[in-house]
Amino acid sequence: MFGIHSMPDLNLYWSSDLKYRVPAIADIMGKSRYMKINQYLHAADSSHQVAAENDGYDPLFKVRPILDTVRINSKDLYKPSAAISID
């Protein structure tokens, strides 16, 4: 949801000002709970992360191993049938 509704500051998603507050985020999870999960949940070693201003920066670095595993397994396990439609 953060990618769909982009804000310049993370705190604005939980703002008391209805102009900024995003109910789809704020009503589902409290700010302090999100911050703790974001602080401790990593699927990659942060010491190897490339800084945002450098080439090779990956905004999904923390979850890249999970995404790669899902992508590889999806390619290996999903076998489309003869009748397939792509929109």
pLDDT tens digit sequence for 12-43: 999 999 889 999 999 999 999 999 988 888 78
Instruction: Work out the mean pLDDT of the chain and round it to a whole number.
Output: 88
**Domain segments of the chain: what residues?**
1-41, 43-78
Q: What CA–CA distance (Å, rounded) separates 77 from 74?
A: 5
Specify the pLDDT at position 83. Answer: 80
Nearest Cα to Cα of residue 28 among 19, 37, 17: 37
Specify the pLDDT at position 40. Answer: 84
Tokens representing 28?
Answer: 């589902």
Sequence-ordered list of residues with C-beta below 8 angstroms from that of 30, at least 6 positions apart, any chain: 14
**Alpha-carbon separation of residue 39 from 34, 50, 62 (angstroms):** 8, 18, 11
The yes-or-no verdict on residue 84 having pLDDT over 80 is: no
What mean pLDDT do residues 66-87 have? 85
